[in-house]
Amino acid sequence: MNYQPPLSAAPEPARPAELLGESVHDSTSLRQSPILEPFRDFLFGIGLIALLLSSGAFLLYDLLGDRRQGNDSSFTLFMFHYGITVAYSLALLSNGHWRSKRYPERRPARWLGLLLWLLSAYALNRDLAVFQQSTEWLCWALVLVGAAMVAYAWKESLPIRLQQLLYLALGIGCWLFIYMAVYIVELYPISVPALIGLGMSAHTFVPLVFAVVLCKRIWFDAKSDEHLRPGIAVGLTIPLLAIGVFMTGWMNDVNKMQSVRMEATTRQTSDLPEWALIAQRIKPNWITNRLLLAGRVYDQGHFFDGDGWGLSHLTALEDVREHDPLVVIASRIFPATTLPAAEQLNLLKVLHNERHGTEEKFWTGRHLTTEDVVSQVRIWPQFRVSYTEKTLRIRNQVRQPEEALFTFHLPSGSVVSSMSLWVNGREEPARLTTVAKADSAYRQVVNVESKVRARDPSVVYWQEGSRITVRVFPCQASEDRRVKIGITSPLRLEGSQLVYENPYFDGPNASAANELIKVDFATAPNNLQSPWLLDGLDGTTLTHRDHYNPDWSLRFEAPPLSNESFVLEGKAYRLEPYKPVQDTFKPTDVFLDVNAAWTKDEFRAALRATSQLNGRAWIFDDGLKQVSAQNASDTYERLVKQQFSLFPVYRITNPATSLLITKGTPVSPTLSDLKHSAFADRMHLTATQHQPLNTFCFGNELSPYLKTLAELRVLNVLNGTGDDLAAHIVNQHQFPHQLNDSARVMLFEARVTICETPMPVHPDKAIEKAGIIHPSNAPDHLARLFAYNHLLQQIGRNYLTEGYQTTQLIQEAQQANVVSPLSSLVVLETEEDYDRFGIQKDKQGLSNATLKAEGAVPEPHEWALLIMVTLLIGWLYWRKRYALH
């Protein structure tokens, strides 16, 4: 049956009051509620219901469904969208709704049909990726345009200002769909023949139809309704202005990169690679981020590239990029081909401080989520140490195996002392081995053998800047993976309080994860300050269950230090308060490491201190240059534009009489980022310098580059203000002495030293005379922290050279079971796997740290002595009994 609703009366001419914002109604709307007017066309009501169902299913799939391209569920859902769209389109056709000239009042129903086709096209796009995943602003723009097309049904009942806003959105949509229609123009020739059959290739022409319909409507309404023209003009102008601003920023950044590269060839000192020089000059912003991520995170488009579309562009890709029209347009008009891929990756690491996202991946992990986190903490206030176990449960949203990659950010001075992976429902502890063996085993199993059959490895690597990387494979949809990381940390001393910091991680999305927190104190804390997320203290235990929140810490009064020791391998480890020793120090040369973090007052304070010391002030700007009163201002203005600084400390030839003054920046390259550069090659020169370079840092934070140098004893750092600089160095001529004792390490954060001494023996006890140790109540984490810091102390400047991984250092790491620059923890599936990669279980020293048992463990020679004593007692008893008989 053909349904023809009565024609609405033509709208009356607008009255002056209406032009000021009153609703404009036709004669029918005066007799009926304006809200219900569009529903006089029963197909509009049906279309609105169909649109709500289709958009609801589309949204739920994105939020809850299997988001991998090319899977059965996505195609099934597409057929749902396509079925609704075809059914509604046939209903419109049979009732004459597509006759736009004859029945303009039926336009709202026709537009609902177009929106259904758009949803169906994007549902098909999940399986045939014509467009990559839409970036966030593009999604909101499409929602805005779609909402405006629905709201068009009530246009005549809206105030003038709302009508202008409505047409503003339609103007934006006009340009948006023109872009999309041009983007896929090369698909039109192959889509026309493909209309035969189910006609799914009709989706190719959806953007073109939208562009024609919206542009036509805007053109005619602008001619007939003068009050709509401001909204239309603004809507058409906004996209052009956005493209202009984006292109300007894009071209400025590209030109700046090219300029730095050209200048690099004229530098007298070409130590730093080009990407590092570029990173110093560029200030990251929204446009710069997209420039650097183009081709890696953001798609650069395939049209008019000379390769044609073909099936390679239509097949689903596992590593989906984001589709940002601004990036595509800018990439086509002004390509950014200034850096090789490897250097661009380093640039991203520094400017974004995004090291986790740029880590090497063997398998994708974009469908993984962290479902829950269990944080178990044990705190020994009297020893100023803590041990944290993070157990993570990982879920895969798809059927294919994926790799979980985590980056843990540890409190300063922390070390990883355990790891476990659940294999076949059983917790399997990791084994400590060299970095080379662990890396070789993991790569072979995951990157080679798992392409045939998925197998179970996990590994943890040490990284510069108090970070570790954890890899877990495989994460299957049929099972949840669980991994546990144990972290030994010193408690930070602030005034009279100790602070426990919670380690946090980057990795599979944990925004919806639940967390169980349990904190046990060895002794009841005084004046505990717990965050809002933790419940009250129950004796010595804090517990909490809630959504995962990584940002929390604990504060409590610092008790007196315990004098008890932990004994391992004939050595006792105990704490002593840190008592700084001052060295007489009056530098003759002061080197200013100026960057964007410096203030002008700090620069003046540094120059004033240099003048009072009768010394010479130097800066590094394509060579060491002396600062004078005449060039000081220009020097500061030039160097403060650097986003970070990388002072070449190897160019300071006499560190004993030199002072480096610096200030930390949030980001900078690390030594590993600079590997294979002339800068890194020349850093080995510091290995021949036995005297650390005294360094004064404004503020409390060091850049990642300087932090590593401080950990390796290349720098001896004092933090403070300009007043501290004047008081300690200028007036008192003193600088704290750097501890250089192989039997003592300093935990700077806790303001204590761990001393290693021979095992104590009480002469009045026969058993202890025989060599058996007395009981120890101290945690084994004292030995672990000592070994980790002692390793860094031993490695020192040799980290900057090849071959620092000596057998002695590796044995020390194995004895304490700690992850370090030369040791990693790895879990393999079977004992045979450990054997073929030469990873043996260490039967001496400490094993994985655990919350279930702390304290001293009998060592092999101690077990032998115990057995000998037992046999001696047994022999004496037997002899006595035999003598009685």
Q: What is the CATH number of the domain that holds 532?
A: 2.60.40.1170
Position 600 scores a pLDDT of 95
Please give the pLDDT value at position 15. 41
Instruction: Check residue 459 and report its DSSP letter.
Output: E
Instruction: Give the list of residues 6+ apart from residue 140 with CB closer than 8 angstroms, or none.
Output: none
Residue 51 falls inside a structural domain: yes
Q: How far apart, in whole angstroms, are the C-alpha atoms of residue 105 and residue 601? A: 70
In a domain? residue 274: yes
User: What's residue 306's pLDDT?
Assistant: 54
> Is 835 part of a structural domain of the chain?
no
For residues 176 and 252, membership in a common domain is answered with no
Q: Which of 351, 379, 408 is the last residue of a domain?
A: 351
- Whether 455 and 474 have beta carbons less than 8 Å apart is answered as yes
Contacts of residue 433, Cβ cutoff 8 Å, sequence gap at least 6: 823, 824, 826, 839
Residues 430 and 475 in one domain: yes
- Could you give the CA distance from residue 588 to residue 659 in angstroms, rounded to a whole number? 8
Q: Whole-angstrom Cα distance, residue 797 to residue 859?
A: 33
The pLDDT score that the predictor gives to residue 586 is 93
Residue 444, in any domain of the structure: yes
Residues 6+ apart with CB under 8 A from 160: 18, 19, 20, 21, 22, 24, 227
d(CA 463, CA 670): 10
User: In a 3-state reduction of DSSP, which class is residue 688?
Assistant: helix
Whether residue 489 is found in the same domain as residue 510: yes
Residue 845 domain flag = no
- In a domain, residue 789? The reply is no
For the chain, the residue count is 885
Kindly state whether residue 53 falls inside one of the protein's structural domains.
Answer: yes
Enter the pTM of the model. 0.77
Q: What dihedral do alpha carbons 389, 390, 393, 396 form, nearest 10°?
A: -140
Per-residue confidence (pLDDT) for residue 653, from 0 to 100: 86
Residues 477 and 528 in one domain: yes
- When the pLDDT of each residue in the chain is averaged and rounded to a whole number, the result is 84
**How do residues 520-568 score in pLDDT, each as one tens digit?**
999 999 999 888 656 677 888 998 888 999 999 999 999 999 999 999 8
- Cβ atoms of 277 and 269 closer than 8 Å: no
Which of 189, 208, 231 lies at the terminal end of a domain, its last residue? 231
The single-letter code of the amino acid at 735 is F
So what's the pLDDT on residue 684?
75
- With tokens 């790895």, the residue in question is 826
Q: Are 668 and 279 in contact (CB under 8 A)?
A: no
In terms of domains, do 423 and 485 share one?
A: yes
Share of the chain above pLDDT 70, in %: 85
Q: Which domain holds residue 625?
A: 582-736
Does residue 395 contact residue 368 with C-beta atoms inside 8 Å? Answer: yes
pLDDT (0 to 100) of residue 458: 94
> Rounded distance, CA 506 to CA 550, Å?
10
Domain identity same for 698 and 633: yes
In a domain, residue 799? The reply is no
Confirm if 21 and 163 have CB atoms less than 8 A apart. no
Query: Can you list the residues of the chain whose pLDDT is less than 70?
Result: 1-32, 64-72, 99-103, 197-198, 303-320, 337-338, 532-535, 687-690, 760-776, 853-885
The total number of structural domains that make up the chain? 5
Q: For 517, list phi and psi in degrees, rounded to 5.
A: -115, 130
**152, 111 contact by CB (below 8 A):** yes
Distance CA 749, CA 786 (A): 14
For residues 216 and 259, state if they share a domain: no
Is residue 225 domain-shared with residue 247, that is, in the same domain?
Answer: no
Task: Tell me: cis bond preceding 325? Omega within 30 of 0 counts.
Answer: no
411 in the same domain as 320: no
- The burial of 358, by beta-carbon neighbours within 10 Å (0-12 exposed, 13-18 middle, 19 or more buried), is given as middle
382 lies in the same domain as 304:
no
Domain boundary among 736, 767, 784: 736
β-strands 715-720, 693-698 pairing: parallel
Domain identity same for 167 and 46: yes
CATH number of the domain at 702, please: 3.40.50
Instruction: Tell whether 725 and 592 lie within a shared domain.
Output: yes
For residues 394, 397, 402, 405, the Cα torsion angle rounded to the nearest 10 degrees is: -40
